[in-house]
């Protein structure tokens, strides 16, 4: 990221002007073009001798990098390769990802980013984003004040405590904000110079990290309680002072903090939590696509959710809103949900029921006539059998809990059961899709959190919808930024879900995939952004009052990864 005094850009003319030259220019990832610097640029910026004499093109570089990538033998090796490329030549990195989304998304994002966070200290080489550590809490304003951050318009922040289903990774959690921001650019065209990944390093309770001699984070137990809240408040206050119109995305905070931080700050600045709202939107969109395939309306589905933390509650709340839009009352809509958490089905009088779970707690009278295998806790299998579940969503992080018994029970109650094991990474998935398909005799409609290979059954090849937040959050962010939204409303989240649901191939063919191909991600993100921006305008939350003006801003804003012409910036 360059200081604004070092670089100016005329996007319409495709010209970049910079004072940097020689090694400084080549070592700058946002400006480096490698062998693609022209002879004239090599003259102007003193690059002769620093580069081989061949003047190449972006397509040649892509071919070279693809061959080098394919030589990597492990997923972590491929992740490390892509991180190094991003820190060397951003344009080449984004061109590679944008043109090959289905190949590279599982590497730069889930599931490989999980291992990337676990082993982040092994591969950290160059600064990217900001590590704001607790011992530096008095320096936050000073750190953010650097002129190189003047162009920042959006931040993804994590404290590293709940990385996917892998738990506390401390400073290694920076892999998540870096990965998310990479998709802001690759899948939605948000200019990379507008993106700032941030890791709030408040220590870690992961003993493996603390004992690791090469761990890069603050070597301390995790700060909690009022000290933690004060540190987050100092960060948010500093961000608001530095960038009054910033978009702030919360990512991979523990359930105890995620919901309350969103509630505390959502009316203070433009902010959303992807684990709560992004997961809810993509899941709702994919469920709506599956419901289209079943031919049975959402209001006639019985929905079980395993894992009723922030993600599970967020999914339930958005699906509840969708049910109410189908004409159900609030009470009627709630009756379609069966929430299963650590101690089984949430029932009045049950153990450790939190206030945010309370609206989905079942009355004991609701269970009249149920036949239970255990009177102390009502298991998921009990729920599937007695509630006649037709939709099952897993966000529990418990591998393999969607058993053959449960799947076969659902198949007795639904011609096409909808089963979504959404936990990441792959090792934490509630079920293997091929197994779920086999146990349902090929009838199940399956969405997964991580990518899984297609399966063969009854002479057909079945692909599984990767119900990945990447379908939502890049377009959501693009819509927020280009509409100049002041806040992120629940209706804007619903608009993103509906926009994605409208792209489900099941509208044309009930046997088609539930979601559009990942290769269409940029197209999908643009449609999501358009829906989000128009909803912001409708609610009076946008800096625009006219949809046409917003659409013009949206289409002119999108950044494309190609090499611009460079000229010397005069002093």
Q: Is the dihedral of CA 538, 539, 545, 548 positive or negative?
A: negative
- Kindly provide the b/e burial profile for residues 135-148, where b requires at least 16 CB atoms within 10 angstroms of the residue's own CB: eebeebeeebeeee
415 phi and psi angles, rounded to 5 deg: -60, -35
- Angle between helices 90-99 and 175-188 in degrees, nearest 10: 70
User: Is residue 497 helix, strand or coil?
Assistant: helix
Q: Which two tokens stand for residue 21?
A: 């030259």
Binding residues for (S)-malate: 162, 424, 468
User: Is residue 513 helix, strand or coil?
Assistant: coil
* Total residue count of the chain as it appears in this document: 571
Tell me the three-class secondary structure of 253-320, residue by residue: CCHHHHHHHHHHHCCCCEEEEHHHHHHHHHHHHHHHHHHHHHCCCHHHCCEEEECCCHHHHHHHHHHH
The C-alpha atoms of residue 97 and residue 107 are separated, in whole angstroms, by 10
Residue bearing tokens 């992004």: 278
From 404, 405, 399, select the one nearest 450 (Cα to Cα).
Answer: 399
- Kindly provide the b/e burial profile for residues 526-565, where b requires at least 16 CB atoms within 10 angstroms of the residue's own CB: bbbbbbbbbbbbeeebbebeeeeebbebbeebbbebebbe
Active-site annotation holds for 109: yes
Q: Which of 151, 180, 498, 534 is catalytic?
A: 180
End-to-end Cα separation, the chain, in angstroms: 20
Binding residues for a divalent metal cation: 251-252, 275
Q: What is the CB-side half-sphere exposure of residue 358 using CA atoms within 13 A?
A: 3
Kind of pairing, strands 15-18 and 7-10? antiparallel
Active-site annotation holds for 180: yes
Q: Which of 79, 94, 109, 471 is catalytic?
A: 109
Q: Are 61 and 34 in contact (CB under 8 A)?
A: yes
Active site residues: 109, 180
């Amino acid at each position: 990221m360059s200081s604004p005094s070092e670089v100016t850009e005329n996007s319409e003319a495709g010209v970049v002007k910079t004072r940097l030259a020689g090694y400084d220019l080549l070592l700058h990832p946002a400006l480096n073009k490698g062998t693609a610097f022209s002879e004239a640029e090599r003259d102007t910026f003193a690059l002769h001798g620093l580069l081989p004499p061949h003047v190449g093109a972006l397509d040649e570089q892509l071919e070279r990098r693809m061959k080098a990538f394919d030589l990597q033998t492990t997923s972590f090796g491929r992740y490390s390769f892509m991180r190094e490329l991003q820190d060397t030549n951003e344009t080449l990195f984004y061109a590679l990802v944008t043109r090959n989304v289905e190949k590279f998304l599982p590497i730069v994002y889930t599931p490989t980013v999980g291992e990337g966070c676990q082993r982040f200290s092994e591969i950290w080489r160059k600064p990217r984003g900001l590590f704001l550590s607790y011992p530096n809490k008095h320096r936050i304003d000073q750190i953010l004040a650097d002129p190189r951050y003047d162009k920042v318009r959006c931040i993804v922040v994590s404290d590293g405590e709940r990385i996917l289903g892998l738990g506390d990774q401390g400073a290694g959690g920076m892999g998540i904000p870096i990965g998310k921001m990479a998709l802001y650019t690759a899948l939605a065209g948000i200019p990379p110079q507008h993106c700032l990944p941030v890791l709030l390093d408040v220590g870690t309770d992961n003993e493996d990290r603390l004992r690791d001699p090469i761990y890069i984070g603050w070597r301390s137990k995790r700060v909690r309680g009022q000290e933690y809240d004060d540190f987050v408040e100092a960060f948010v206050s500093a961000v608001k002072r530095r960038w009054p119109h910033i978009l702030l995305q919360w990512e991979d905070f523990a359930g105890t903090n995620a919901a309350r931080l969103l509630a505390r700050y959502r009316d203070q600045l433009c902010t959303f939590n992807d684990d709560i709202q992004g997961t809810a939107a993509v899941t709702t969109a994919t469920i709506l696509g599956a419901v289209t395939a079943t031919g049975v309306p959402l209001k006639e589905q019985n929905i079980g959710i395993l894992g009723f933390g922030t993600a599970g509650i967020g999914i339930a709340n958005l699906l509840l809103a969708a049910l109410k839009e189908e004409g159900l009352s609030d009470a009627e809509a709630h009756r379609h949900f069966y929430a299963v958490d650590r101690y089984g089905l949430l029932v009045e009088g049950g153990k450790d029921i939190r206030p945010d779970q309370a609206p989905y707690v079942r009355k004991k009278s609701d269970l009249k006539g149920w036949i239970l295998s255990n009177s102390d806790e009502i298991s998921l299998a009990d729920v599937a059998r007695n509630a006649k579940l037709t939709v099952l969503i897993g966000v529990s992080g418990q591998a393999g809990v969607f058993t053959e018994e449960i799947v076969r029970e659902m198949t007795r109650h639904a011609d096409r059961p909808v089963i979504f094991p959404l936990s990441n990474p792959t090792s934490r998935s509630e079920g293997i899709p091929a197994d779920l398909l086999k146990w349902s005799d090929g009838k199940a409609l399956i969405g997964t959190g991580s990518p899984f290979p297609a399966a063969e059954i009854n002479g057909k090849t079945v692909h599984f919808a990767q119900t990945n937040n990447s379908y939502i959050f890049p377009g959501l962010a693009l819509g927020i930024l280009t509409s100049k939204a002041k806040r992120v409303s629940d209706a804007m989240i619903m608009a993103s879900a509906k926009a994605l649901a409208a792209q489900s191939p099941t509208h044309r063919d009930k046997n088609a995939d539930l979601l559009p191909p990942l290769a269409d991600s940029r197209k999908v993100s643009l449609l999501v952004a358009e829906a989000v921006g128009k909803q912001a305008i409708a609610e009076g939350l946008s800096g625009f009052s006219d949809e046409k003006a917003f659409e013009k801003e949206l289409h002119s804003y999108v950044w494309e990864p190609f090499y611009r012409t460079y000229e010397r910036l005069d002093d």
